[in-house]
Amino acid sequence: MTTQPSLDLIAERVERLLVRHEELQRTNTLLTDQVSALTHERDLLRLRLQAARARVDALIERLPANQGE
């Protein structure tokens, strides 16, 4: 009968591991979604930066050539 407590302990541990596995899967899904959202935000910010640089470059080109002299 010593095997029954051992089997119960193993079964309990397996149950805890399954619960932990499910928690980690949910956490991984949330983190994956967060990375995706942040990647999208980064890409939008890069586009805005490129547009701002283009506007600044256009303004610089409109300055008279001898302005700094």
Residue type, 65: A
Give the global pTM: 0.69
Tokens representing 16?
Answer: 């805890």
| Residue 29: other Cβ atoms inside 10 A | 10
Rounded CA separation 61/45 (Å): 24
pLDDT for res 68: 57
Sketch the domain layout of the chain as residue ranges: 12-52
pLDDT per position as a tens digit, 29-60: 999 999 999 999 999 999 999 999 999 999 99
What is the model's pLDDT at position 4? 83
Nearest 10 degrees: CA dihedral of 35, 37, 41, 44?
A: 110
